[in-house]
A and B are shown apart, each in its own frame.
Chain A
Amino acid sequence: MDATTSAIVWTKQRPQPSWLVRLFDWKPFLIFACMLPAIGLLMVFLTYPLGLGIWLAFTDATIGRDGKWIGLENFIWLAEDPIFWSSVFYSVFYTAVATVGKFGLGLWLALLLNNHIPFKSLLRAIVLLPWIVPTVLSAIAFWWIYDAQFSVISWFVVDVLGLRDRYFDFLGSAWPARWSLIAANIWRGIPFVAITLLAGLQTISPSLYEAALLDGSTGWQRFRYITFPLLLPILAIVMTFSIIFTFTDFQLVYAITRGGPVNSTHLMATLAFQRGIPGGQLAEGAAIAVAMIPFLVFATLFSYFALARRKWQQGESND
Chain B
Amino acid sequence: MAYLITRRDGLKLTAASAATLALVEEARAQQIPTQPAEPPRLPIESGASLRVIRPARFVEPDETFFRANAEKFSRQFNVPVRVDFVGWEDIRPQTAVLANTGTGPDVVIGWSDDPHIYADRLLDMSDVAEYLGKKYGGWQFLAEKYGKRHGTNNWIGIPLGGSTGPIVYRISAVKEAGFDKIPDSHEDFLRLCQRLKEIGKPAGFALGNAVGDGNGTANWLTWSHNSFLTDEQGRVAINQPATIQALEYLQKLYPTFVPGTLSWLDPTNNRAYAAQECWLTPNGVSLYFALKNDPNTRHIAEDSDHANMPRGLAPDAPQTATIINAMVFRSARFPNAAKAFIQFMMEAEQYNPWLTACLGYWSHPLKAYDNSAVWDSDPKIAVYRRGLDYRYWSGYKGPITAATGTAASEYVLVQMYASVAGGQATPQQAVAEAERRARRIFR
Contact = CB atoms under 8 A, between A and B. Distances in A.
Interface of A: 62-66, 77, 82, 146-150, 166-167, 169-174, 177, 257-263, 274-275, 277-281
Interchain residue pairs A-B with the least CB separation, the first 10 = A148-B260, A171-B263, A258-B209, A278-B409, A260-B209, A261-B262, A279-B410, A149-B277, A172-B262, A262-B419
Interface of B: 89, 92-93, 95-96, 99-100, 117-118, 207-211, 258-265, 268, 271-272, 275, 277-278, 402, 405-406, 409-410, 415, 418-419, 422, 424, 433, 440-441
A166 B277 CA distance: 13
Nearest to B430: A262
In this complex, which of B92, B117, B263, B422 has the most chain A Cβ atoms within 10 angstroms of its Cβ? Answer: B263
Contact of B415 (A63, A148, A257, A263): A263
A169 B209 contact: no
A247 B99 CA distance: 34
Nearest to A254: B209
Given A63-B92, A64-B118, A261-B422, A280 B259 contact: no
Contacts of B278: 149
Contacts of B415: 260, 262-263
Contacts of A257: 208-209, 263
B263 A177 contact: yes
Contacts of B262: 171-173, 260-262
B310 to A, nearest CB: 24
B418 A262 contact: yes
Contact of A260 (B89, B277, B418, B441): B418
For chain B, what secondary structure do more than half of its interface residues adopt (helix, strand, loop), or is it mixed? helix
Nearest to A278: B409
Contacts of A150: 271, 275
Contact of B89 (A148, A171, A278): A278
Given A169-B260, A173-B262, A149 B208 contact: no
A177 B422 CA distance: 13
A167 to B, nearest CB: 6
A185 to B, nearest CB: 17
22 contacts: A63-B93, A63-B96, A63-B117, A147-B268, A148-B261, A149-B258, A149-B275, A150-B275, A172-B260, A172-B262, A173-B262, A258-B210, A258-B265, A259-B209, A260-B209, A260-B263, A262-B415, A263-B415, A275-B410, A279-B406, A281-B406, A281-B410
Contacts of B263: 146, 148, 169-172, 177, 257, 260-261
Given A261-B262, A262-B419, A281-B406, A64 B208 contact: no
A66 B93 contact: no
Contacts of B405: 280
Contacts of B418: 260-262
Given A258-B208, A280-B409, A148 B95 contact: no
A262 B424 contact: yes
A77 B261 CA distance: 31
